[in-house]
Structure 1
Amino acid sequence: MTATKSQYPPSTKTEGLPYYTPANNPGAALNPQEPNTPTLFRPLQIRDVILKNRVAVAPMCMFSCESDPTSPAVGALTDFHVAHLGHFATKGVGLVMIEATAVQATGRISPNDSGLWQEGTDSEQYKGLRRVVNFVHSQGAKIGVQLTHAGRKASITTPWLVEIGSSSRADESVGGWPSDVVAPTGGEEFKWAPGDKKFWAPREINVSEINELIQAFARSAKLAIQAGVDVIEVHAAHGYLLHEFLSPVTNRRNDHYGGSFENRTRIIHEVTTAIRAAIPVGTPLFLRISGSEWLEECPVAAETGSWDLSSSIRLAKLLPQFGVDLVDVSSGGNHKDQRIQPHSNYQVDFAARIRREIRACRQTTLVGAVGLITEAEAARDIVQGADEVFSNDQEPKADVILMARQFLREPGWVFAAAKKLNVPVSITNQFSRGLL
């Protein structure tokens, strides 16, 4: 990785911040159009947003927000999040995704989760989000927020606050909401782990509440855009509420939100359509799904079936109608009996199959790959050639890579990858003495 100071942006104070920092743009290839520059370090335009490279920080729950329901700062991002997320921006990522952010207070996983349900730009939730956005933008990165509802996995205690041998369920004494843990279908049988004391038995969400949930997603998305967020992602994976609707394992409803594939995916259509109507036409909309629940051979799915790769492909082909620009492909999380054997590319292969199928239909929906992506060469190969939308010369597996734990281990991964792949990139002015 090489660069010269003359190739850096002018060291002027970044607008919108109450303190001095130069306007940085680390991680951008200095010669992006050169034939030898891998796709990983080429810009990607999604609607009106241009990512400087194809590397994104996947959402990671930090369980670090105020939990007191009487506090105006409940659910608001804090100085920790400015440091945590802002640091990735200084290290050259193209897109920083904020952790799962609940659209309703009862949609959080734990009382210490991030939320964006308070209306108005004078709320602490808005102010906390705006601070993170402003700093990430000052470092030349784009920022997205993952909007969610935890469903039957809600109202549990922050992991490191659970005493060994005790229940992890959060009750009212610690800011929990056991009577408002909801799922498509309720009852003890539909707990994350029936008989287990780690989760609450959910009650069935009614249609009126579903309608309010849909509007809550739209309101949160609109507020996020007002705070300067560049990308909205809807979380429909990992066994949270929207995923619970998708899967016949957890959705046994007999109304128009249950039963057939069309009914089970209806809520995705309604949520994404409501969000698309609430945000600017130039704003990218992502959808995270579990490519498979890993239940195909499990007894729990023998009678009803499960959400599998063929279901994901079928949904992916509908996304242009929903206004969704990118499908972010993860897996699992909807039943304790899932049989996952993580290995290199174990989820990337799902992304590759989905991308191949939607390209065969001449659709241009982008695909994000995530899961055990750690090495520069592997990341390069996953997206190489993705600029050629319908090319068969080299078949990419995805258009963007998302990494989570690897960035916790190695925040400077983008710089290290650029060096390994021999790509000259711009660097953070303040770090130049250590990186030049």
Structure 2
Amino acid sequence: MKITCVGGGPAGLYFALLAKQRDPRRDIVVVERNRPDDTFGFGVVFSDATLDNLADADRPSYGAIRASLAHWDELHTHFGGRVLVSRGHGFSGLSRQRLLAILQDRARELGVVLRFEEEVSDPGEALATSDLVVAADGVNSRIRERLADRFEPRIDVRPNRFVWLGTTFPFDAFTFYFEESRHGLFRVHAYRYQPDRSTFIVECREDTFRRAGLDRAGEDETVAYFEELFADKLRGHRLLKNRSVWRSFPTVHNERWSAGNVVLLGDAAHTAHFSIGSGTKLALEDAIALVDCLGAHAGVPEALAAYEAERKPKVLALQRAAQVSLLWFENTERYMALHPLEFTFSLLTRSLRVTHEGLKARDPAFVREIDAHVASKAEAQSGVRVVSADAAPPPPMFTPFRLRSLVLENRVVVSPMCQYSAEDGRIDDWHLVHLGSRALGGAGLVITEMTDVSAAGRITPGCAGLYRQDHAAAWRRVVDFVHARSRARIGVQLAHAGRKGATKRMWEGMDRPLERGAWPLLSASAIPYLPESQVPRAMDRADMDQVTSDFVQAARRADEAGFDLIELHCAHGYLLSSFISPLTNRRTDEHGGPIENRMRYPLEVFDAVRAVWPADKPMSVRISATDWAPGGLTTDDLVALCGMLREHGADIIHVSAGQTDPSSKPEHGRLFQTPLSELVRLEAKVPTIAVGNIQSYADVNSIIAAGRADLCALARAHLYDPYWTRHAAAEQGFAMEWPDPYRSVERYTLRMR
């Protein structure tokens, strides 16, 4: 087999040497346009887990890499006049030039032909004369560009600027600096990669970059600027340059990674932000996977298909984590008002892959300090004693939280989950058992399913309501049980389905219109949800007055039923949400146009409900923070609308997303909506409830400790396990008081086998 590898960086070299090692009969050529020692950047980073993978793939190159590493165990965060230290991380730095030399030597030793300072002037010739062409030619891949119609690349160039410098200062830990200057905030990522050399990456926003005059600076001026700014940190050491020009990070995606006998490898296929140190790691792991697939399949097309099927999901998962990390650094200004401990914990868990429990395993003392800080804040905020001198602080999820007169004993919320099991809005024993069991399960707050303010406001014929007096009596039975038999509090989510109403129950066909018995629909504008959906009537003033009255009457009934909290549903494309999103509000009157107008009617309803709801009882509002569709809600809109809700008396914002328009393309993944909650909490300065694929108590602890939300709502986890919170407490060694009839379980140990 003849293999041409275009690109002599780590990806191409490592693939070539592994492929030759596995089958010496292969004719492998690496073609690189640059000199052997010509490389961008100074050091690369490997985790211990990545090094283990290299050990299994090729022992000689691994041994040479291992002998050249600068290892560190600590992360140092310089913030707020303090240096906060987190231990147990297990990373190593290596000179990029040294890595290339090791891979070049090993490739030559195995018989790989290396051709440097040679351009592939005609990619078509390489394609025609090789059995396999490996495009490892980096972010600006010419092979990918030539076959763009096959690979369908997408490149997202990020707004921040960064410059990759070196220094003679020998950092003894991975170090972060956050330096406020007269021009703005600079972030530094620094780490040692050999005894007398370190990488020193400086990042900032575009406006800071321009105010500092760095848009007009050459390499020498850039070095001089930062030697002066960081003089006290560098302690007389110099900064070094190596093609140290300012860049904007490009996030590369490709719809497909192979086309015929051509396959993309490393940065040509994907990039992930340097803040999680992933570029070289991904490139080398790509090479291992591709060589494995070539060995496992007889034909090149089959091998390339297998490689993409195996490798792409793993890369996408890491890219999602890198994207969240990237956004943290793009918006670091947002976090500068945090307490140093909270800031550091937010930094360390920024990718959402590192959790409270993971850090606890690495550095128990550091996490105990974090937990004590969270507990102290909770004690001050709630007025409930939390911190005990003779006991460890509780896990963050088991700290109390106050909303007006309502004090929740922990941060876990049972998210609203439609049951579609009511008759003309009236709930029955199903709802008593469903909500009652989850209250017994230990959550601090249980919120009912979407409860409609009128028969015409239901999603389906099976939806719950509070539009008749007997509805309040039925709900009272549930509320009384929760209050009498558990320590949970219970809230009701009031809503009107709008254009998403008159549909079948979930298991009969979600969002599909009723074939019989449908009722007329209302919305901000006369736009059907689906092409086959009923066309709603655009609300006029009389409609608005009637719906507002319906909400007010439902709120009064909610108080009669004894609910502790009302949540106003302004999300997911239902009636109030349809006014907020520009995709569903096409009005030209005072209720359409800018966000201030689009919020006019939702705020009118909120004010009317707040006026009749007891002053000491809190109100939550659930929103869709993004439409996940072009032309939808902007970040500025989001911050503005949450600020309006706060000013009108909303006590907490339940930050959900999407479901406003069927064209939306959600970015699903673990904790995928948590960054939106964090944005609202810090930018709009209002407490939040996070929701969206929160999977574990480690996730909840991480979210609360990092200040990404004040409460965490879980839906499917509570469907699967009504006692989720109690089980989380048991696994963490936290004592929760069980109901008297269940006391015998306090010393029970579950054995699965």
Compute the TM-score of the two structures, normalised by the length of structure 1.
0.80
Aligned residue among 682, 689, 704 for 1:383? 704
Aligned residue among 476, 492, 497 for 1:150? 497
Amino acid at match of 1:128: A
Take 2:737 and 2:701, find their aligned partners in 1: how far apart are those partners? Answer: 18
Take 1:323 and 1:284, find their aligned partners in 2: how far apart are those partners? Answer: 9
Aligned residue for 1:86, secondary structure, equals: helix
Aligned residue among 374, 377, 391 for 2:695? 374
Q: Which residue is equivalent to 2:474? A: 128
- RMSD of Structure 2 on Structure 1 (CA): 1.7
Structure 2 residue 685 is matched with structure 1 residue 335: no
Structure 2 residue 538 is matched with structure 1 residue 204: yes
Structure 2 residue 452 is matched with structure 1 residue 102: yes
Take 1:280 and 1:145, find their aligned partners in 2: how far apart are those partners? Answer: 14
- For 1:36-435, what aligned pairs fall within 5 Å after superposition? 36-66=393-423, 74-118=424-468, 123-138=469-484, 139-162=486-509, 168-171=512-515, 173=516, 175-177=517-519, 180-186=520-526, 190-194=527-531, 197=532, 199-296=533-630, 301=631, 306-359=632-685, 365-384=686-705, 395-435=706-746
Is the Cα–Cα contact under 8 Å of residues 218 and 275 in structure 1 kept in the other structure? Answer: yes
Aligned residue for 2:431, secondary structure, equals: helix
Q: Which residue is equivalent to 2:233? A: none
How far did 1:102 drift?
Answer: 0.7
Alignment deviations for residues 270-297 of structure 1 (CA, whole Å, 9 cap, x no partner): 111111110111010000001111013x
Is the Cα–Cα contact under 8 Å of residues 572 and 659 in structure 2 kept in the other structure? Answer: yes
Is the Cα–Cα contact under 8 Å of residues 596 and 641 in structure 2 kept in the other structure? Answer: no
How far did 1:162 drift?
Answer: 4.8
How far did 1:31 drift?
Answer: 8.0
Amino acid at match of 1:169: P
Of Structure 1 and Structure 2, the greater helix share is in 2
Amino acid at match of 1:354: V
How far did 1:95 drift?
Answer: 0.7
Is the Cα–Cα contact under 8 Å of residues 524 and 584 in structure 2 kept in the other structure? Answer: yes
Is the Cα–Cα contact under 8 Å of residues 640 and 684 in structure 2 kept in the other structure? Answer: no
Q: Which residue is equivalent to 2:36? A: none
Amino acid at match of 2:560: Q
Take 2:680 and 2:615, find their aligned partners in 1: how far apart are those partners? Answer: 25
- For 1:8-19, what aligned pairs fall within 5 Å after superposition? none
How far did 1:213 drift?
Answer: 1.0
Take 1:151 and 1:60, find their aligned partners in 2: how far apart are those partners? Answer: 18
Is the Cα–Cα contact under 8 Å of residues 377 and 421 in structure 1 kept in the other structure? Answer: no
Of Structure 1 and Structure 2, the greater strand share is in 2
Alignment deviations for residues 329-381 of structure 1 (CA, whole Å, 9 cap, x no partner): 0000011111112111210010011111133xxxxx21110011111111011
Amino acid at match of 1:176: A
Take 1:224 and 1:398, find their aligned partners in 2: how far apart are those partners? Answer: 26
- For 1:19-38, what aligned pairs fall within 5 Å after superposition? 32-34=386-388, 36-38=393-395
Is the Cα–Cα contact under 8 Å of residues 235 and 287 in structure 1 kept in the other structure? Answer: yes
Gaps of 5+ in 2: 1-383, 748-753
Alignment deviations for residues 26-82 of structure 1 (CA, whole Å, 9 cap, x no partner): xxxx9833452123111111101111111111101000001xxxxxxx201111000
How far did 1:240 drift?
Answer: 0.7
> Comparing 32-41 with 219-228, which one deviates more in the overlay?
32-41
- Matched residue pairs, number? 360
Take 1:428 and 1:396, find their aligned partners in 2: how far apart are those partners? Answer: 31
Take 1:181 and 1:219, find their aligned partners in 2: how far apart are those partners? Answer: 20
Take 1:320 and 1:154, find their aligned partners in 2: how far apart are those partners? Answer: 29
Aligned residue for 2:684, secondary structure, equals: helix
State the identity %. 34
Structure 1 outlier segments of 4+, above 4 Å: none
Take 2:737 and 2:590, find their aligned partners in 1: how far apart are those partners? Answer: 52
Take 1:162 and 1:372, find their aligned partners in 2: how far apart are those partners? Answer: 23
How far did 1:111 drift?
Answer: 1.0
Aligned residue for 1:317, secondary structure, equals: helix
Take 2:637 and 2:733, find their aligned partners in 1: how far apart are those partners? Answer: 40
How far did 1:308 drift?
Answer: 3.3
Change (3 A) 1:397 1:162: closer
Gaps of 5+ in 1: 1-29, 67-73, 360-364, 385-394
How far did 1:160 drift?
Answer: 2.6
Is the Cα–Cα contact under 8 Å of residues 32 and 41 in structure 1 kept in the other structure? Answer: no
